[in-house]
Amino acid sequence: MSKKEEYTIKSLEFLQNIIARLNNNSFNIKVFATTIFGLLITLYIEKKNILFIYVCLVCMIMFTLMDSLYLCNERKFRKIYESLIKSSKDKDLKVFQYDINNIKDITFFNVTVSYSILLIYLSMISVLIFIAIFYYN
């Protein structure tokens, strides 16, 4: 096996590990957000204090932004991974050079309004807004 092939394989393994970590962090954020959501809703039901709903709403917005950031970075690294596979036959292969800032077609906003983010967080935020409106009426 040539040095170029070794570097390509190591580079692909390195990218796979980065993508797996980002994916795992995104999943952990969803789990933590769901746990906090359940906890604060339970506290609201028990104490009847609207402050728990507002705190939960702020937390869900923050979790949405954090999860979107991890998902955005994951998609950018996936794009680098795919381009590395496509260009692995090139002579001037640049391994271990991953600049995700040069990828302009995957934006934070597009990821935030994607199905995988909106389905989870928008449903939780909608429940919180419904409870907050129902509480005052």
Q: Are 76 and 23 in contact (CB under 8 A)?
A: no
Separation CA 20–CA 35 (nearest Å): 22
Give the predicted TM-score (pTM) of the model. 0.87
Q: Are 50 and 135 in contact (CB under 8 A)?
A: yes
pLDDT tens digits for range 110-125: 999 999 999 999 999 9
Q: Are 72 and 101 in contact (CB under 8 A)?
A: no
What does the block give as tokens for 57? 């709403």
What does the block give as tokens for 99? 């600049």
Q: What is the pLDDT of residue 57?
A: 95
